[in-house]
Amino acid sequence: MSQIPFTGASRDKEIRLIEELSLNAWPSHKIELYDGWLIRFSHNYTYRTNSVEQVGPSDLPADEKIDYCESVYRNYRTPSSFKINPLLDPSFDRLLQSRGYQIRHTTEVMLLDLNGPFFNPLKRLSEEYEFYGRNSGLPSWIDYPDDVTVSLRDTISDEWIQGLFRLNGTVNPVLRRIVPSMYKSIPKETIVASVEQDGRMAASGLGIIDRGYAGLYAIYVEPGCRRKHYARSICSAILTEAGKRGCRYSYLQVVAGNQHAKSLYTSLGYEDFYTYWFRWKDLDQAK
């Protein structure tokens, strides 16, 4: 039995909303609006922030626009990439294929009804409020079974970002310079989560709240700390607090084939909703 009530036109409307929410949640380093297309660039930190997204009506011929986008990415010395979601006319995907674009980074979007019977967070053992009126009313620490303590903050700090870099292996000096500003440019309310072990961040998570939806991002766990319920505890903390703030749904994006992550999210109550992918072409091919 599915918890997702969206079908037909309502499903398309919901996909359009989630696409918009995810754009708000993850700003790019540079963005250019071109005839209803967003050309995004962030030195290849993620596919989403280094691709073209269609966000509005278009007047110019598609081939002409693709040529222009390729010239932009060629100037950035990076591959040319287009995001393909279910709302686009399938002919556009075929056009890119005919121009030599390959499918990369297929991503599954999952949806969770936070008020529904399938939402299954871990039960917290205790919580502590240290900041007394600060921290947007979030608990400072939440204790879960197996001696897991999740720290919550309402602000993305430099310390959290540096811990995230260590967890996701970001060592490129350009990315370490620009990515903090991308996180700090998020215009929405955030729930910033972490678990520490031996004095350093061993797991991370980020909730981004927008119009009654909680987007779940940046779930990373240090390899030596996996299977200790760190990620489950972080997700449970973020989602429970988002529900207290009036969120009805939560969405997330997981790369196709990541069965370990899918198993976690499914056990929390998420269901598959739609799939998107990127059409990617190497710079040398785009001349």
In a domain, 270, yes or no: no
**Token pair recorded at residue 239:** 């989602």
pLDDT for 109 equals 98
In a domain, 254, yes or no: no
pLDDT tens per residue, range 9-48: 899 999 999 999 999 999 999 999 999 999 999 998 999 9
Region 125-137: mean pLDDT is 84
pLDDT for 133 equals 65
What CATH number has the domain bearing residue 153? 3.40.630.30
Region 89-118: mean pLDDT is 96
Contact present, 268 and 236 (Cβ < 8 Å): yes
In a domain, 272, yes or no: no
Query: Are both 99 and 140 inside the same structural domain?
Result: no
Please tell me the distance from the alpha carbon of residue 19 to that of residue 93, in angstroms, as a whole number: 18
The answer on pLDDT for 115 being more than 60 is yes
Please tell me the distance from the alpha carbon of residue 211 to that of residue 188, in angstroms, as a whole number: 10
Query: Are both 151 and 101 inside the same structural domain?
Result: no
Query: Are both 102 and 119 inside the same structural domain?
Result: no
pLDDT for 286 equals 44
Residue 224: partners with Cβ closer than 8 Å, 6 or more residues away: none
Query: Are both 133 and 208 inside the same structural domain?
Result: yes
In a domain, 258, yes or no: no
pLDDT tens per residue, range 165-218: 999 999 999 999 999 999 999 999 999 999 999 889 999 999 999 999 999 999
Q: How confident is the model at residue 235 (pLDDT cuts 50, 70, 90)?
A: very high
Query: Are both 80 and 200 inside the same structural domain?
Result: no
Domain enclosing residue 31, as ranges:
8-108+277-286
**Token pair recorded at residue 281:** 């072409």
In a domain, 3, yes or no: no
pLDDT for 118 equals 94
Query: Are both 85 and 154 inside the same structural domain?
Result: no
Query: Are both 119 and 232 inside the same structural domain?
Result: yes
Query: Are both 242 and 176 inside the same structural domain?
Result: yes
Contact present, 272 and 110 (Cβ < 8 Å): yes
pLDDT for 42 equals 94
In a domain, 263, yes or no: no
Strands (E), the chain: 30-34, 37-41, 52-54, 80-84, 102-113, 126-128, 141-144, 148-153, 189-197, 200-210, 213-221, 249-255, 271-281
pLDDT for 200 equals 93
Query: Are both 230 and 121 inside the same structural domain?
Result: yes
In a domain, 212, yes or no: yes
Residue with tokens 């084939």: 257
30 closest CA partner among 205, 178, 195? 178
**Token pair recorded at residue 7:** 């079908």
Q: How confident is the model at residue 132 (pLDDT cuts 50, 70, 90)?
A: low
Region 69-75: mean pLDDT is 96
> Which of 254-258, 264-268, 281-285 is the least confident region?
281-285
203 closest CA partner among 213, 193, 190? 193
Q: What is the mean pLDDT of the chain?
A: 94
Q: How confident is the model at residue 242 (pLDDT cuts 50, 70, 90)?
A: very high
Task: Name the domain count of the chain.
Answer: 2
In a domain, 267, yes or no: no
Query: Are both 126 and 163 inside the same structural domain?
Result: yes
pLDDT for 227 equals 86
Q: In terms of pLDDT, which residue wins out, 1 or 144?
A: 144
CA distances from 200 to 164, 169, 217, 223, 277 (A): 11, 15, 20, 14, 35
The answer on pLDDT for 284 being more than 80 is no
Please tell me the distance from the alpha carbon of residue 181 to that of residue 50, in angstroms, as a whole number: 16
Query: Are both 53 and 13 inside the same structural domain?
Result: yes
pLDDT for 214 equals 98
Query: Are both 173 and 84 inside the same structural domain?
Result: no
